[in-house]
Amino acid sequence: MLRFLRLSLVYSLMSIGVISCKSYQLTDVQPISESKKTVENLYFSSAEDYVYKCQMDIYKNHVSGILIIKKLSETTHRVALTSDFGNKLIDFEISQDDFKLNYVLPDLDKKVVINFLKNDFRELLKKQYPINESFENKDARIYLSKNDHKGYYLFFNKESGLLKKIIYTRNNKEKIDFTFEAKKHIFADSLNLQHKDFRINIKLVQITETESD
């Protein structure tokens, strides 16, 4: 199974040019004025461990395991993935500027695999977003944060105030959708990460919930 995972990741990354990405545009929204200057993704901001059942679908291959995310400091998280039988697959520390690989199973020790995980989790664990533009529709307030060639559309539910979705774009092309289900602002009960330019999907479902708000 691990060999399938490695080969599938290589194949998907090599096939990136085959699947087209359209320019991303919001629809059925209207611009609004907003006094706040930044918004935050607080789902991984607690000092408690975040423990999830992890499922990866890579083309026709399916891999499952246990994912643990732990906040080490205000800027750094530790991420560890084990198999369903408790064998460690990968362990790394990550921030927006640094990446330290503590362990990787030899079958996964490939540059494309490491870069795939590093880039996805760096985007997932990004906390603060300066606001460039603000919008709303009937269900959500939407904030656009732009940084060079990157763009982030953050959707906050109007009723609960909880972050429901982040759409990550590069050069105005939709790259990754992060969709959250949550009851508290610091803990996502589930997360679905879907790539738009190759067929990779990661789903996280909580196993243990943080105690503090």
Instruction: Give residue limits of the domains in the chain.
Output: 2-208
Under a CB-based contact definition with an 8 Å cutoff, are residues 131 and 39 in contact? Answer: yes
**Residue-level pLDDT at 113:** 80
Under a CB-based contact definition with an 8 Å cutoff, are residues 112 and 99 in contact? Answer: no
Non-local (6+) Cβ contacts of 65 within 8 A are: 54, 81, 82, 83, 84, 89
Tens-place pLDDT, residues 10-55: 554 545 444 445 689 899 999 999 889 999 999 999 999 999 999 9
Q: How confident is the model at residue 7 (pLDDT cuts 50, 70, 90)?
A: low
Backbone angles phi, psi at 5, to 5 degrees: -60, -45
**Residue-level pLDDT at 56:** 81
Q: What is the mean pLDDT of the chain?
A: 87
Mean pLDDT value across residues 54-59: 80
Under a CB-based contact definition with an 8 Å cutoff, are residues 174 and 187 in contact? Answer: no
DSSP string, 10-28: HHHHHTTTTS--PBP---S
Whether 76 shows a pLDDT value over 60: the answer reads: yes
**Residue-level pLDDT at 108:** 80
CATH class of domain segment(s) 2-208: mainly beta
